[in-house]
Amino acid sequence: MEIEIKNFGPIDSLKFDLNKDLHLIYGQNAIGKSYATYCIYCLLKNIKNKAIGGNRFMYFEKPDESSFDKFVKARIKNLKTNKSIDCTKDFLKLVENELKEVILKGLQNSLLNTFSSLKNLKNRYSDKNYELIISISKSEKLTIFSNNEGVLDLKFEDHLKKVQIVQKDTKSTKFSLYINERKEFGKATEDEFSGDFIRYTFAKVNKILRKLDFNIRDIYYLPASRSGLYQALNAFTPIIAELTQNRFFMQNKSIELPSLSEPLADYFIDLSTVDKKHINIEYTEIIKLLQNDILRGEVEYDDKTRRILYKPKGIDLELNLSEASSMVAELSPLVLYFKHILNNKYASTKGRDYFFYDQFYDSPNRRKKDRGYDILFIEEPEAHLHPEVQVKLIEVFAKLSSLNLKIFITSHSNYMFNKLNNLLIKKEIDKKNIMVYHLVRTTEGTTVNSEMKVTEDGIDDENFQDVSEQLYYERLNYLEGNDDKKN
């Protein structure tokens, strides 16, 4: 599945391929890296683990007043025996309306929580309204777009060429539904046909939602300045983060809540709702590498105080993150995610929407292998790390693709970039699993430099090379006693 972001804030066009495991996003400051990852995070959060059932019709609509029943009655009303009526466009509209109900309300809320104003998210250069285009398959595409006021709408395209309702002079199958000239079902009465039509449409919508889900188990976001944000927010209770996510629904507008983007709020909720009983055995090797080779100590979580603690190796000492080194403070949340949070996200296991169901989390006998993979977003993992540690860290990330974890990384580290090149040359990581995005600014907004491609011989350096070259010639000129201009 591919997702293309178009005309979103500073971004002109940026396409992500979710078939890849390791995504590295490079580019200058203020070019749109965080805009892109925030956008993808909010989108994935609102299309994963979704499905519809009959509950909302049971509670909100009388059977003979549902949109489906009205759809059938309106088309059968004047239908004559041995005749058919083409309802392709109207059927797709019905499917689109159900997709809107499932996706758009949550997505609009997430984007509002994250960017404050949907109206200001249009392309800053061309003034075009933004689009989020999801290529589900070769014949299926979902486009989410906004109008001038920032209100979201949705369009779905697929291989459906012809949808017909046919009336025949038979008792058992008087009314039949045909899709692309193929009979799907037939019923004796209008009411029976309407009931099966609802079930068929639900199945169609759920099939689309399952494809959109793309076998994603859960998504997580580790923002830049992780430790500082955690320590500051830890002075408050998790309810602040919960309220922040729903501040646009609050009736009392005089109550002002901190402006906290949804990815950041989710991050704080994740760290404030850790269940130590849940242990990720599959990440044991990764945890050992991080604790033994990099941190040289153990990261633990105190259930009572809800604080992350660090215990240096070989010393009888226990430190809060505020007392530990900046490297320890930045990497400790990552260790905690591997230990307890991944595969057991609080928001996915508690307080689920009754009118949606998820075949994984709502199953009493759920198993990790029943779902595909997690997605982890990490902003600037190299922050506060010595180059030696940065190199070790990218080695850790390279190992994660075999553990059903996809990673999106925004970075300014040439050390991590060069180490990844070496891993490619040594064939310790498959080039098919990697995607590198070098964001560059154009007159229409930010787009991807297509020259920075991943090959078996590494990745062409289109991001750091110019600066390195400039510094080299600057030094050479100084040594030769010339001015600071390149010859």
Write out the DSSP string of 89-116. Answer: HHHHHHHHHHHHHHHHHHHHHHHHHHHS
Residue range 374-378: average pLDDT?
A: 94
- Name the residue with tokens 């070790």: 392
How much is the average pLDDT of 412-433?
88
**Pair (208, 239) in one structural domain:** no
200: amino acid identity, one letter: Y
Can you tell me the mean pLDDT for 348-371?
Answer: 52
CA-nearest of 419, 407, 396 to 287 is 396
429 and 487 assigned to the same domain: yes
Q: How far is residue 18's CA from residue 3's CA, in Å, rounded to a whole number? A: 8
pLDDT band at 350 (very low <50, low <70, confident <90, very high): low
Measured CA to CA, the distance from residue 484 to residue 135 in angstroms comes to 50
Last residue in a domain, options 174, 190, 213: 213
Q: Band of the pLDDT at 400, cuts 50, 70, 90?
A: confident
Same domain, yes or no: 73 and 185 = yes
Shared domain check, 315 and 392: no
- Provide mean pLDDT across the span 378-394: 91
Residue 65 pLDDT > 80: no
| The pLDDT value given to residue 222 | 93
CA distance linking residue 287 with residue 227, whole number of Å: 18
What does the block give as tokens for 453? Answer: 């491609």
Q: What is the pLDDT of residues 242-291, one digit of tens each?
A: 666 665 555 555 555 556 789 988 998 888 888 888 889 999 999 999 99
Residues 305-325: tens digit of each pLDDT: 888 899 999 898 998 888 888
Residues 66 and 206 reside in one and the same domain:
yes
**Encoding tokens for residue 274?**
């850790």
Question: In the beta sheet, which residues pair with residue 302?
Answer: 307
Q: How far apart are CA 83 and CA 396, in angstroms?
A: 64
**H or E element that contains 397:** helix 387-399
The number of beta carbons lying within 10 Å of the beta carbon of residue 125 is 17
**Polymer length in residues for the chain:** 487
For residues 20, 208, 261, 35, the Cα torsion angle rounded to the nearest 10 degrees is 50
Supply 408's token pair.
């999106």
Regarding whether 260 and 142 lie in a shared domain, the answer is: no
Output the pTM of the full model: 0.84
pLDDT band at 121 (very low <50, low <70, confident <90, very high): very high
pLDDT at 483: 63
Please give the helix or strand (H or E) that residue 433 lies within, else none: none
Quote the CA–CA distance of 62 and 69 in Å, as a whole number.
10
What is the average pLDDT value for the chain, to the nearest integer? 83
Q: How far apart are CA 38 and CA 32, in angstroms?
A: 10
Do 123 and 179 belong together in one domain? yes
In a domain, 362, yes or no: no
Residue 382 resides in a domain: yes
Kindly report, residue by residue over 446-471, the tens digit of the pLDDT.
Answer: 999 887 788 888 777 765 666 667 77
**Strands ordered across the beta sheet of 83-86:** 83-86, 163-167, 175-179, 182-187
Residues 66 and 191 in one domain: yes
Closest CA to 243 of 220, 235, 150, 251: 251
Cβ–Cβ under 8 Å, residues 21 and 44: no
pLDDT at residue number 253: 54
- Judge whether 364 lies within some domain: no
The pLDDT assigned to 260 comes to 77
Is 418 contained in some domain?
A: yes
For the sheet with 297-302, list strands across it.
297-302, 307-312, 319-320
359 assigned to some structural domain: no
What is the average pLDDT across 389-397?
92
Query: What pLDDT is attached to residue 351?
Result: 43
Q: What is the mean pLDDT of residues 388-394?
A: 92
- Find the range with the poorest average confidence among 100-114, 136-150, 309-323, 457-471: 457-471
Q: What is the pLDDT of residue 59?
A: 43
CA 398/CA 23 separation, integer angstroms: 11
List C-alpha distances in Å: 134 to 1, 4, 35, 161, 217.
7, 7, 17, 20, 18
- Average pLDDT score over residue span 140-158: 93
Q: Which residues neighbour 346 within 8 Å (Cβ) at sequence distance 6 or greater?
A: 269, 270, 273, 275
Residue 4 structure tokens: 């293309």
3-class SS shares of the chain: helix, strand, coil, % to 5: 40, 25, 35
**Beta-carbon contacts of residue 289 (< 8 Å; ≥ 6 apart):** 392, 395, 396
Angstrom distance (rounded) from CA 399 to CA 387: 19
Each residue's pLDDT tens digit, 325-345 = 889 989 999 999 999 998 877
Q: The tokens of 58 are what?
A: 């049971």
Domain carrying residue 324: 226-350
Contact between 70 and 158 (Cβ < 8 Å): no
Q: Tell me what the mean pLDDT of segment 398-421 comes to.
A: 89
Query: Number of folded domains in the chain?
Result: 3
b/e burial code for range 202-212 (CB count within 10 A of at least 16 → b): bebbbebbebb
Confidence category of residue 15, pLDDT binned at 50, 70, 90: very high
Asked whether residue 183 is assigned to any structural domain, the reply reads yes
CA separation, residue 284 to residues 28, 271, 330, 376 (Å)? 35, 19, 20, 17
Q: Work out the pLDDT band at 237, boundaries 50, 70, 90.
A: low
Nearest to 331, CA basis, from 380, 402, 375: 380
The verdict on 133 and 231 lying in the same domain is no
pLDDT at 234: 66
Residue 365 inside a domain? The answer is: no
pLDDT at position 60 is 45
- Asked whether residue 361 is domain-assigned, the answer is no
CB 141 within 8 A of CB 212: no
Q: What is the dihedral of CA 7, 11, 17, 21, to 10 degrees?
A: -150
The pLDDT value given to residue 417: 86
Q: Which of the listed residues 290, 317, 350 is the one where a domain comes to its end?
A: 350
One-letter amino acid for residue 427 of the chain: K
Based on the fold, state whether residues 179 and 86 are members of the same structural domain. Answer: yes
Position 217 pLDDT exceeds 90: no
pLDDT at 165 over 60: yes
First to last CA, the chain: 48
Q: Which of 303, 319, 350 is the last residue of a domain?
A: 350
What single letter denotes the amino acid at residue 8?
Answer: F
Kind of pairing between the strands at 216-222 and 373-379: parallel
Claim to verify: residue 385 and residue 259 sit in the same structural domain: no
98 and 178 in a single domain? The answer is: yes
Residue 357 confidence (pLDDT): 52
CB–CB of 433/20 below 8 Å? yes
